[in-house]
Structure 1
């Protein structure tokens, strides 16, 4: 019988001599599929279940875990503060108009100042979208809230109509935080629930418009109780929304992150994410017909809300003779509807999209817009 020589183990390739054990990088979730884990510890990388792009498949607003729910919190919270500061002047206008040097005695002058306040956000919203694409929502939001807290502070130093309107114009830049809020939740949450996430973050943020109507007159009364006259009281009270804006801008910059996998700056350096050209991004968006259709629809929807937030308090005072504090509380009810109204729209959109896809979302959009028109 022929004898077959076998080479000693030392002569075999190293990888054949000792099989290498590779630690798994995912664990199977019976409901949501493979979930990424830390190969060394075996623990999940994210507290919430995620999809292949690490976008969350659940929305749990009571949590504060990084990155998904931390981003969700700061997305709606900084938008809330932005709205609070943006419309902080409106419920105090019946007092502010009595400062003769500001030239706000006529309805036309006050109306023009409201238009100027909205014009600021139109300009900044065109810019902040491409900026967010390039530098990330954390940097965009942090910059907006800190830089434009300054005109909120400075409006209290207004000495004529031009300086008052200039401050309102730049305060309006805070309204561009809506763009960042929607961008942030869109990259943090999967299509399965992105409608609910977007709607809830936007709705809770818009609550700021109602809360400022309710609270700013009370803060004004507090300043009066400290012995300040009307003119000094409204000026000093603007320090409150200014400080809120500055504070939330600093907090979100240091305690949140841009996307599930980290911050844009780090991802750019590692090559995991390519830098976008803001001008090219703007060109692509402007050449898409859908962008202009949504532009018109949003103008007729959110435009109404802006008008209501800016004028309701003054309307109740002029037409029904209620005082500034009562008018603010009544006007706040309109803004407080955002606590549930926007979330209902998002939930309905997500529910119909599961069965009908984008057609379902469009059906919800049409229904809500049509009923609003009626």
Structure 2
């Protein structure tokens, strides 16, 4: 195998790990989005109104915000093998709970907890970065993310048919329960089939746990500022569930959540200081520095790319059904076109990033998705369905190529922090999803698409401040010697 090509037909060494890991991610995405194509059946069975349906969509991506941060820290500390196995096993149990729910409150609780499975993506990012060199990591991460992300499309295409095969008003319950059973079985398969690093390699761990390490005073304050939107998104969710929104929570509980989020934020600031107080005492040696602005730009880029994908994948079947007056199965198949592009677009984004440069590729992708969402905002019932689907898939190409480009950079920031960098970027994807879905519950679908377009334009400006990764990064081996790792 050359330095620039991956033999994907092989099932040995790093390619074997890549295949086993994208399958784990694929299953986690099937579980995470198993409700979206079945929403109309769930609505009919339990007599839900449209506001409750939209609440379920928001709840599905809420817990993933803190989960990705926490899972990022845990994977850096304990390794991806055990973390992916645990995540799939635990999420399967929650999936069974959702399948047997018989009230909106039970559905809401199960959907909120299932946001946890969305953190699986972060685990694989660290796993793939351990097995592939810098010249291949963009393509490898793109394949992992793209083929795994296709799980949402697979759910959209297959679950309505599976539900019909089981038949009856409870067909959707069996379809969702089946996805949980698959996750449970694969948890054991994955644990017994992979290792955290190639034989003889060192798994670098953070020096301290509880917060991400930074290497300058300016980065310390930027890190704190970049944490605020994550708490704001959770507060937005609480507001949406309060009497001001769908009244799932009482006003007193909502206020308690707001206070809790403020307390939690300052508790995190305390941990950030404890982990990084040395930057106020002495300068970090140049060889061990990295720029946190790289993380900040990647966070915003993933908010615009994956955040919008999450929101659109969740609402697109219903959007097509209502816009063109077609059945649930037809709408699910047409909407799957958005996620279907993951198979090729995310790997292409990673490949272009490896070949053309990280910053240039991100610039092209985000420009393309801004135009794409503007066009989607123009879709009306008068459009030919074929044109609407083509516009959706064209937009989707740039969205997911952009995701591939983001995570082609993530492993090149600082190796021992890869899980945490991936976790924070991933969490920002969910910040975007919660924000966009909340906006969708207040405005028309057309305005929703235009808001995402505007967000992409702001992100495009931010990307211009990112530095192209060059040279090498330094990591310290357990015996104290320094190992240099190529990032270019």
Determine the structure 2 residue equivalent to 1:212: 155
How far, CA to CA, are the matches of 1:282 and 1:96 in structure 2? Answer: 44
| 2:44 match: secondary structure | coil
Determine the structure 2 residue equivalent to 1:104: 48
Equivalent runs, 1:29-68 vs 2, <5 Å: 58-66=5-13, 68=14
Determine the structure 2 residue equivalent to 1:240: 178
Determine the structure 2 residue equivalent to 1:117: 60
How far, CA to CA, are the matches of 2:200 and 2:64 in structure 1? Answer: 29
Q: Displacement of 1:283 after TM fit? A: 6.4
| 1:327 match: secondary structure | helix
Determine the structure 2 residue equivalent to 1:33: none
Q: Displacement of 1:193 after TM fit? A: 0.9
Determine the structure 2 residue equivalent to 1:328: 332
Q: Displacement of 1:343 after TM fit? A: 1.2
Determine the structure 2 residue equivalent to 1:7: none
In terms of fraction of residues, the more helix-rich structure is 2
> Structure 1 residues 109, 326: CA separation in 2 closer, same or farther (over 3 Å shift)?
same
Q: 1:169 aligns with which of 87, 95, 112?
A: 112
How far, CA to CA, are the matches of 2:187 and 2:209 in structure 1? Answer: 23
How far, CA to CA, are the matches of 1:276 and 1:171 in structure 2? Answer: 31
8 A Cα contact 2:321 2:328, kept in partner: yes
How far, CA to CA, are the matches of 1:276 and 1:260 in structure 2? Answer: 22
How far, CA to CA, are the matches of 2:204 and 2:190 in structure 1? Answer: 22
Q: 1:86 aligns with which of 29, 32, 41?
A: 32
Determine the structure 1 residue equivalent to 2:124: 181
Determine the structure 1 residue equivalent to 2:191: 253
Deviation digits for residues 176-202 of structure 1, max 9, x if unmatched? 111112111111100011111111110
In the superposition, the TM-score normalised over structure 2's length comes to 0.58
Determine the structure 1 residue equivalent to 2:282: none
How far, CA to CA, are the matches of 2:367 and 2:44 in structure 1? Answer: 41
Deviation digits for residues 214-268 of structure 1, max 9, x if unmatched? 00001011011xxxx21x21112212110121122111111111111279xxx7x
How far, CA to CA, are the matches of 1:176 and 1:311 in structure 2? Answer: 21
8 A Cα contact 1:182 1:198, kept in partner: yes
Q: 2:19 aligns with which of 50, 69, 73?
A: 73
8 A Cα contact 1:145 1:249, kept in partner: yes
Give the greater-gyration-radius structure (CA). Answer: 1
Say yes or no: does 1:147 pair with 2:90. Answer: yes
How far, CA to CA, are the matches of 1:183 and 1:304 in structure 2? Answer: 23
> Structure 1 residues 156, 274: CA separation in 2 closer, same or farther (over 3 Å shift)?
closer
| 1:311 match: secondary structure | helix
| 2:295 match: secondary structure | helix
Determine the structure 2 residue equivalent to 1:304: 308
Determine the structure 2 residue equivalent to 1:349: 353
Q: 1:136 aligns with which of 72, 75, 79?
A: 79
Q: Displacement of 1:163 after TM fit? A: 1.0
Q: Displacement of 1:120 after TM fit? A: 1.7
Deviation digits for residues 266-324 of structure 1, max 9, x if unmatched? x7xxxx86675332436679462322221111111111111121111112222222112
In the superposition, the TM-score normalised over structure 1's length comes to 0.75
How far, CA to CA, are the matches of 2:150 and 2:156 in structure 1? Answer: 10
> Structure 1 residues 219, 349: CA separation in 2 closer, same or farther (over 3 Å shift)?
same
The number of residue pairs the alignment matches comes to: 298
8 A Cα contact 1:133 1:278, kept in partner: no
Q: Displacement of 1:80 after TM fit? A: 0.7
